Structures are given as C-alpha cells and as structure tokens.
A and B are shown apart, each in its own frame.
Chain A
Amino acid sequence: MSISLLDTLLKVWNNSAFPVITWQQVVMICVAGILIYMAIVKKYEPLLLLPIAFGVILANLPMANLMAPPPADGSGTGGLLYYIYLGVKLGIYPSLIFLGIGAMTDFGPLIARPSSLFLGAAAQLGIYIAFTVAVVLGFNPQEAASIAIIGGADGPTAIFLSSKLAPELLPAIAIAAYSYMALIPMIQPPIMRFLTSKKEREIEMVQLREVSKLERIVFPIVVTIVVCLLLPAVAPLLGMLMLGNLFRESGVVQRLSDTVQNALINIVTIFLATTVGATAVAEVFLSPETLKIVFLGLMAFIFSTIGGLLLGKLMCLLSGGKVNPLIGSAGVSAVPMAARVAQAEGQRANPANFLLMHAMGPNVAGVIGSAVAAGFLLTMFG
C-alpha cells in the first residue's frame, strides 16, 4: 500500500467542511465576529452577547450538525446543542433566569412608592406601537407580537414569547433585544433631554419611606396570586420571578437565594445564550425580515422610553413638581441600566440629584409590566 502525501491532503480537504461552506455561512461567522468585538471590546452585555456570538459560529459550521435533531428512525442521536436548546423551546431557561433576577431584585422602592407601577406600565407603549407597525409591514400576528416585545427591554421575556410564537425569528429578536439593552445609555439620553426641560430634570425627589420586612415578604406572594389569576399565561415568568424574590426576602433560605442568583443563573445563561445564537443559521438570519426586526426593535425601545417619560411628566404636573419625570424612562425594564441612565441624566442637570432609588421603582415595575404584556400577547396569539 502506497501513501501519497498529496492524496492524503486531498482526502482530508474533501472530507472537511471547507469545500461545502457557503458565502452566507461566512457572512454569519463575520456577524458573530462583530458581536464578539462588541462584547469584548465595547463591553456590550458581554455575558450574553459572547455566548450568543459563539453559538452563531457553531451553528454556521457546515457538517458540525450541532443543532441537528435525532434521525426520525431513531438510529442515532441529535447534536449537542439540539438537546440543550430544548430548554429554550420548552420555555424553561427564561423562567429560570427570572428566578435568579427575582433573587437579585430589591422591590423596596416599588413598595415604598406604588405609583411607580404606572410608569412601568406606560413604558410598555413601544410594544404596542411596534406590534401595529409590524403588522403593517406584513408580519403575521404571532411574529408581530414576538418582535414587539423587544420594546419591553427584557431579554428573557422576549426569548420566552418568541420561542412560543415565532421560533424562526428567535435569533434576530434575541440579538436585537440584547444589543439595544446594551445601547440604552446611548438611546435614551437624547430622548430624555428632548422631552423634558432642564427645570424638570433638576427636580430633587423626597426620600422614600422605610419598607418593613413583612411588607417585602408579603409582596411576592400577593403579586403572584393576583397576576397569575388574572393572566395565567404569565405564571411561568412572574411565578419564578416572585419565588426568587421570596427566597431573598424571607431571609431563611440564604443558600437557595445565593444559588439562584449566582450559580444557577450563570449556568442557564450559558445554555440559553449559546443555543439562541445557534439558531441563527444563515438561511434564516440573512433575510430582509432581520433588518425589519432591527428597525422595529429600535422603534419599540424609543417609544417605550417616550411612554415612560410622558407619564413621568404628567405625574410631575399632578404632584406639583415632586416627581422628576426622568424616572419614567426607567420604566423600560432593563435592570438596572435604565435606572442608572435616569440617575446620570438627573445628576447631569443637578449634581445634588440622586434619582437612582426613585428610578429603581419604575425599573422593576417595568419587569412586571413586560411580563404582563407578554402574558397578554401569549393569551391572544398562543
């Protein structure tokens, strides 16, 4: 038997994936490169964008078949990511992420000022405007609802809803949602300055009242019972959010609270982000629909900010200037980024202004608001 070096190299080449890779897959790998750059260099939501981007690379490597389902005749097994992706498909990961978020969230500012909930509701305006425009642009109601939820500025909620209503759009929606959340410090301030006067931005708000431990413990129980009875579809997200919060506030399950807000949420984030990225295959992602989703997502974000600010201005007027309207912009649920932006803008107008805790109320109300909006859309189109 004679072995030729050239023949061997040719054989390796022919058996490799290089000859079959398409230009679309190369483009997708370049897109992943840009996302990795944004995550590492620009620090845009690196915890999510980095695994998403790597998932995009894995999904676009021909012959790797990481997302391949098992053969129908049961003669083999599917790809690794196919099985991990089941957690997204079945809505498990977003709910587990909500469990961790609940354990990390302090609802104290919201309990101290329940009117914050109105701002959290107003900041869902973008969802419904984007929904209508998406329908006009030719998306079916399920797709339009999935795209519109980007305006809720809540990644797990967007993934939860689109995995149920329009799984084919999931990668574009997830990437758009997380990218815009990372860009909040650039998107919101110009709108905030345009819609508010300097005098309004300078308003200092009075200190929040004390919140007792008992109130904090009762809060997640009451919210779960009331909201899940009203909108059962929202139970997986809101139920987990409130369970996590009860872990935190009860003070008797420190180990569970610590696990869900650290180890569990980190593990689930790896599974969720990598597999969501792995659904971004070239044939699906490189389409005019993706550009429309990017446009609609931005529009939803902008209108959500506007909705929160306008109600903030109304509350400012009704309260005789006691409410700084900037906290309305924090009603988009990106926690705590949106609240930090409100704090920064308030302090920019008045260096003695401390809006962070006041903005945290609408901010966490936005999480509940976007979950309720998702529950409504799921009830309508699920």
Chain B
Amino acid sequence: MNSNKPSTIDLVNRNLQKRYRAEKRFQIFGIASIGFGLLCLLVLFTDIVSKGAGAFTSHYIQLTVNLDPDDLDITDITDESQLALADYQGVVRKALRDKFPDVKKRGDRRKLYGLVSNSAGFRLQEILKNDPEKLGEQLTLWVLADDDIDTYAKSKNDAEPFTGRLNDKQIGWVNTLLDSGEMQSRFNRVLFTSGDSREPEMAGIRGALLGSLYTLLVTLVLSFPIGVAAAVYLEEYAPKNKFTDFIEVNINNLAAVPSIIYGLLGLAIFINFFGMPRSIPLVGGLVLTLMTLPTIIISSRAAIKSVPPSIRQAALGLGASKMQVILHHVLPLAMPGMLTGAIIGMAQALGETAPLLMIGMVAFIVDIPQSIMDPATVLPVQIYLWSDSPERAFTERTSGAIIVLLAFLILMNTIAVLLRRRLERRW
C-alpha cells in the first residue's frame, strides 16, 4: 500500500470545515435577504407614520369675534349678495388686534393676521348663513391656525423646530397663545370633511375618498359579473380548441400588461372615440375594470376548479341541466374563492394611479363629487398631487392620506384572508 497517497476520507475531512463554513455563509445570506426585505417594510411604515401622524391633528386658535353689522358692512341680513361680500376678514383681523393690542406697526399687524387661516372668514359666513340671528352678537370660537403656524407648533419641541417664513415675533405670539391655552391641538376634522384646497390647512381627502368609492363601485359592478361569467365559460363550457387557448393566452398576457397601457387605451377609446368626459369616475371605473378583469377571471377559475367533479356529477345524475348545475351548485360553492379574488382585485384597483392620470383624474378639484358623472379624483392621485406641493404641511397631509389608503388596503386584505379562512372547504 502506498501510504503517501491520502485516502478519500482524508480529502473529505480536510475540506469539511471549509464546506461547513460555506454552508453557514449561505444560510446567513438567506437570513440577511429576508431581514433586508422586512427592514425595508419597517422603514417604509415608520417613515410614513412618523411623517403623517401629525396630519390627524391640527392647531386651532381661540378668537372672540364681534359680528358687528357695521364692521361686516351688512345692512340687510336677508340680502344674500351682502352676506356673500361682507368683510369677514376684517372682523377676524379686529379680533386678532384685540388679542394683541400691543402690536401697532403695519408690517407687524400683517404678520399677526397671518396667524389665522383664511378659512376663518368662510366659517363666519357659514355661521351667519345658518343663523342670521347671530348678527351683532359676540362669539367665541376656535378657528384654524395657518399651516406654517400649525407646523411650527407641532415641531416646537423637536431638536430643530420648523420656522419656515415665520419671524421671531410670530413665534413669540404662537408661544404666548400656546402657553395661555388659547391655541390648542385638536383632531383635524377638515381632513375628512373637505375637498382639495391650495391652502394646506383647508385641504381634505373627502373628495378623493368619495371619488375612489364611486370608481370602485363602477369597477366592482362591471368586473365581478363579467369576470365570473368568463371564468364559468372557460371552466365549464369552453371546448378544448385553438380559440379557447387563444382566449386563455390573452387573459394571462393581459394580467401582466403595465397598467399605464390601460390608461392609453382608456384615453384613446373612451375619451377620444366615444367622447366621454374627462376626469369622471365612470371612465376611471371602466379603465380599472379592464385592468382588474384578468385578476378576477384567474382567481374565479381557480375557485371553480376547486369544486370537486363529484358534485357536478351528482347534480347531473338527479336530472339537473348544465346551467342548473352551475347556478345551483358550482357557483355557490365557489363563491368564497371568487369573492376573495374580487376583493384582492378591488384592492389593486384602489391603489392604482397611473391609468387614472391618463384619463384626466388628476385635475385640481375642490368640489366633492356627488355621482359617477362628476369630475373627481381618487385617493392615490390625491397623494400624487399633494406630494408635488412644496409646503411642509402638504408633506404631512400626503403621509396622512397614505395612512388612510393603507388602512383601507389592510382592511380589504384582512377581509379577504378571513373570508377565505372562514368559508374555505376542504373536500
């Protein structure tokens, strides 16, 4: 025997440590990858929440306003044009001057007026419109602070408070008001009750939320029946031939077509060819229907496929026709799976932005839409619009809107998961 030549087991043993180290390294790579993914998720969520939490509160300033008819320039309260043109800003300004009687210089006074949002005037107009009796009375009310003031007050205790265009005097006034309790942080109702605005403190997501709701309604009403019908045809009726294959390939490809292409389709067909108006939820819903249809067809087919053939055979054996088998047995059993697919499709549609930009749902719309034919925008597009605005208060509101959007998506997906768990049957 030649003792110089190493045996196989020696060779193996010599490399073993190295191979084990490689094994460890490989596992660590795996864990690191997953860790990276989860870390991104965590960073994304904390970033959004930390930026957006402030959007749900807003600072209000207490003012004692004197609704003096002379100051307002109202002689006849029943005259609507007088009511519309009255000098509400003047009254608000007077209230501010009364609060800070020491401020005398014109420039300073202008700065002082900047503490309060323009919405204060509209608020007074509303009050008088609803209750003309209030004319001549003295009211104590909480009005919205200006967005810069609000942002400063929120970041006051941070390491680097936001000062923006504010000067030291204004900051001093804000601090006085905060100390005396005449300026307080409250729940930001405006965010949920008003439409878009150029002024951050007056901007809300109600219009966008309703726009999203109408758009999704159109999408659901169209895509669910068509999707289910197509799935039933393909699973139960379609003969195995070239044409059926063609439809199947089509559906699979459509599921992977970029969403912006659907926007181009909507622009060319619905708006330019059929002459439908731009920016309305109806067209948005049509575009999103075409986009979510493949998702719904694919998941409905899976649900129908999971119903065992024995059910069909039993029903056929009892004399049911094909349509009766489908309507009375297959569809009810497949319904949970189809609904899950539909909810997931709707969640996709709710988060979609790009195709809606193409059909003009990106306009600046203050009015809250009342029907599927009114110009509207949707929540993701509102986020896109606000994210372009330079004001810091808009960044905060953008994050706030994102939180609302994510909350809806989480809700929808949770419902889908629960539905699946609750109703899923093992055959």
Q: Do A and B come from one complex?
A: no
